[in-house]
Amino acid sequence: QEQLVESGGGLVKPGGSLRLSCAASGFIFSDSYMSWIRQAPGKGLEWVSYISGSSRYTNYADSVKGRFTISRDNARNSLYLQMDSLRAEDTAVYYCVRGHTILTYWGQGTLVTVSS
């Protein structure tokens, strides 16, 4: 049974930093591309970033490029998103997702609120 559990969300001031984590189980994590997708309150879905199984390939949406960093630790079956220079418009539920083209399985998400 695949499982993705996000953590690390919370309230942060504009300009601050936050690190999200995602614990994966039930599938071969190291073989899987992984993505972060976000959803602002009451809004639609926005792709944020993805990383290949070996960490060789990464890609970012223009809206977060240079501020967010995706990484993974295959020994710990964990995915991360380091978010720096946070802005109000980064407020959203952040989902950890298996895959990068076909988004097969989604975690339940963690809420990030950027507000003073």
Contact residues toward another protein (CB under 8 A) are 44-47, 59, 61-62, 95, 100-109
Between 108 and 115, name the residue whose CB sits nearer to another protein: 108
Q: Are 106 and 35 in contact (CB under 8 A)?
A: no
Q: What's phi and psi for 35, nearest 5 deg?
A: -135, 160
Report the candidate in 8, 1, 15 with the shortest Cα–Cα distance to residue 79.
8
Between 42 and 75, name the residue whose CB sits nearer to another protein: 42
Between 17 and 55, name the residue whose CB sits nearer to another protein: 55
Smallest distance from the beta carbon of 54 to another protein, in angstroms?
A: 19
Report the candidate in 20, 37, 1, 3 with the shortest Cα–Cα distance to residue 112.
20
Q: What's phi and psi for 88, nearest 5 deg?
A: -60, -35
Q: Say how far apart CA 85 and CA 72 lie, in whole Å.
A: 21
Between 53 and 99, name the residue whose CB sits nearer to another protein: 99
Smallest distance from the beta carbon of 18 to another protein, in angstroms?
A: 20
Smallest distance from the beta carbon of 39 to another protein, in angstroms?
A: 8
